[in-house]
A and B are shown apart, each in its own frame.
Chain A
């Protein structure tokens, strides 16, 4: 294990102060003890670790994160909600903001609650999808998490409205760090839509570190959208991991716009036949932003399918990393896996490192992947200029056209509209080639 040795925040001390909330001898307690031991051994990964080859945690290690807020948080979330009508949980500076949340009138078959109020049920599902030995933040999150959303959808229930989680870092406390854990349990033949938004005020310069664990039972289906739009000085580290039983479907869209450093690990394990996963991703970065998406799909049994499309737009001095791994395990015959990663480079100084990987241990499979790096097509630009668009509008339009593929895949119309609006605001104004 190649470890980052220079960490200024005393995470172990924070963990000790949080031990009081955990009942002794509970499952959660055991997991925390294991995680603590693991974190003491391994700390955070250094760049020699293959999964962290292009993303340095050195600067994050230098920060002195705070874990206490001076006053209970409240945030105006009107601008942040992506759909009008939703079952909504709002977390502000690490605490649930009940006035902004609306989880009182839940339909039969749906449980939505803060993690801290659902410990008993949630802890059965903790660390089922993640491995704390993996180099990264899994151990750290397990020893520090104290809030998040817990969702359970009962068997055969179809939830009428989306469930929305909004996490805000107000920046009122400098270098404030949140460690969240979301647990989603989809029982047999259930169906739901889950939207998560991570945002913050422009001056927020803390850390949001979150793991979302998803359990999809037989024939369950989850539409899952994540929008990350934190401030440009903020760190965002996330893992989303799902285990899928037979015939289940998981449609994940992962949009990254904000942060100084944003890292997503998205992992699906297809453990039952006829299960399917869709991973869509879009990252729009500028300034000195760094965004890193690591995805992994395990086809563990025969007859599973996956479809992955990640697209990126890089402007100014930004740096993006994509690593997509598709593993077809032994005997997982008739796997159909498709993966693509496309990147648009808009200006001098940006950097993209992409690695679409395949590991295949079965022969009767259909697997393909493609990746491309390019720039705005001069002919297309000329076409638009000839029709009277100025250079900036033309470039902006073409950039949007490139990104729109990912947005088009969002099935909820209202959500598609609001995400389009967010993206349009973030479009690079032309991009500078020289």
Chain B
């Protein structure tokens, strides 16, 4: 394809660019949810008894809970009985041992998405634990990581190989009963990633996972657990795209991070799931619980997210700052267009002394979308000298969209310093005029201004991701300013 055609296509094709469907035979459970389904999932996974008990406990509690309604989002009631809770790509007898054994159709899917799974992965220095629907199909760089004692594997494997770590940490940050979606996830999660960084180890590469939701009607219930032991460091990337689908698909993931003494975890997300069409038809429901515990002294957790996809986003990556001198950070760009709805933000719970947190949230709304920042900063009575700085800015594009800010600040210690600032603006005629006068067309000008608005967040992303995120921003807002 020559340059010109490519350009032409870029202009005309405003549809969701990652929207295609791979035809692989799926091994699915029929739709519906009951105790048997939970048992079935546990059995398919060949899990030890303690996991089944753990799941059932979550499931029984879930039955007693009500759907949360406080978020600033609207959607038809979800029929949890119409969802299929398990779908795995068809297994060969022993599972693939190398890339050659992986279903070529699957590899082509990743290629289309630009996932550097094989040699590109090596070149980019990225180890990919690719989750295709629910079962991990390939792990790269495992050996290299293993040399340093780093465990990076599907969580289902970790349940078999490291039950002691699972018993100790799974649910220790997000308990089964934490909230409606976390309880559901705890009962039916099928896969996800597990990372353990031993004491004193600095993970030599960025770990990354690509999630995709593929088979029709299959909810994706990921469970990720990352443990960084004393004096360790890890940077984890998570990127998402999903094929075009008309029915709403439910995604209720749980991510737990544990940082011990002086450990640091950097968790970056680029989320680009199918947002639904212009009229709000279809699209992913993204109800995610992400939480980190800074257990050790001087530990640090940093969440960075670029959220452009999903019909509805309900997501509050949080940090519980337990250890003295621990640090929590949250950098977020949330873009909503057309009929998308986002209610996202963070919680910073300060418990230890001299803890500090920073929140930078940039919301961009266009079309008829609604974008809300909802955050909590809580300073406990024993959190001496705690410090928080929060900045939430909204950019409105068009007079049909909405932007909201709901910051909760709760302070119970008189030595705390908490600051919150928020502003709302639009792209001014002057800015546009300036860019156009210098020869940029409107789309490029908008993209440039938006990227400038988000720069504080984008620069927190690892390099490869930052480029992708910038392109994504331009893409998501295509056609919203004319």
Q: Are B402 and A361 in contact (CB under 8 A)?
A: yes
Chain A residues with CB below 8 A from B399, complex form: 330-331, 333, 362-364
Binary CB contact string for chain A from 306 to 350 against chain B (1 if under 8 A, 0 otherwise): 000000001000000000000000110100000000010111111
| A348 nearest in chain B by CB position | B414
Q: Which residues between 413 and 462 of chain B lie within 8 Å of chain A, taking CB atoms?
A: 413-426
Pair B417/A358 contact, Cβ less than 8 Å: no
**At the interface, yes or no: B477 with Cβ under 8 Å from chain A?**
no
Q: Which residue in A50, A347, A373 is a CB contact (below 8 Å) of B416? A: A373
Contact check: which of B403, B410, B426 meets A364 at CB < 8 Å?
B426
Chain B contacts of A364 at CB under 8 A? Answer: 399, 426
- Asked, given contacts A357-B406, A371-B407, A371-B409, whether A350 binds B397 with beta carbons under 8 Å apart, the answer is no
Determine the residue in chain A with the shortest Cβ distance to B371.
A360
Instruction: List residues of B (393-407) whose CB comes within 8 Å of A's CBs.
Output: 394, 396-399, 401-407
Instruction: State A118–B98 Cα separation when bound (angstroms).
Output: 89
Docked-complex contact B410 and A353, CB < 8 angstroms: yes
Is B420 a contact partner of A360 (Cβ separation < 8 A)? Answer: no
Please tell me if the beta carbons of B412 and A351 are within 8 angstroms of each other in the complex: yes
Say whether B410 contacts A351, CB under 8 Å: yes
**Is B113 an interface position by the 8 A CB rule?**
no
A353-B409, A370-B419 given; A363·B414 CB < 8 A: no
- Interface pair B411/A352, CB less than 8 Å apart: yes
Contact of A367 among B381, B397, B406, B423 (CB under 8 A): B423
Check A374–B420 contact: CB distance below 8 A: no
Chain A's nearest CB lies how many Å from the CB of B89? 44
Contact digits for A371-384, partner B, Cβ 8 Å, 1 yes 0 no: 11111000000000
Chain B: interface residue total (CB-CB under 8 A): 34
Q: Which residue of A lies closest to B391 (CB)?
A: A370
Q: What residue in chain A is nearest B72 (Cβ atoms)?
A: A359
Complex partner residue of A355 from B398, B409, B415, CB under 8 angstroms? B409
Q: Is the CB of A371 within 8 A of B420?
A: yes
Q: How far is the CA of A327 from the CA of B394 in the complex (A)?
A: 15
Contacts of B418 in A (CB 8 A): 371-374
Any B CB within 8 A of the CB of A356: yes
CA distance A362 to B424 in the complex (A): 10
Q: Which residue of B lies closest to A346 (CB)?
A: B414
- In contact, A345 and B411 (Cβ under 8 angstroms): yes
Instruction: Return the chain A residue nearest B399 by Cβ.
Output: A363
Q: Is the CB of B404 within 8 A of A351?
A: no
Q: Would you call A358 and B405 a contact (CB within 8 A)? A: yes
Contact residues in B for A409 (Cβ distance below 8 Å): none
Cβ contact within 8 Å between A350 and B414: yes
A365 to B396, CA, bound (A): 9
Interface residues of chain B, those whose CB is within 8 Å of chain A, are 70, 379, 381, 394, 396-399, 401-426
Beyond contacts A355-B407, A369-B405: 5 other A-B pairs, Cβ-Cβ < 8 A, are: A346-B414, A352-B410, A358-B404, A373-B411, A373-B417
Question: Mind listing 26 A-B residue pairs with CB under 8 Å?
Answer: A343-B411, A345-B411, A345-B414, A348-B413, A349-B381, A350-B414, A351-B410, A351-B411, A351-B412, A353-B410, A353-B411, A354-B409, A356-B407, A356-B422, A357-B405, A358-B422, A359-B404, A366-B424, A367-B423, A368-B423, A369-B421, A370-B422, A373-B409, A373-B411, A375-B414, A375-B417
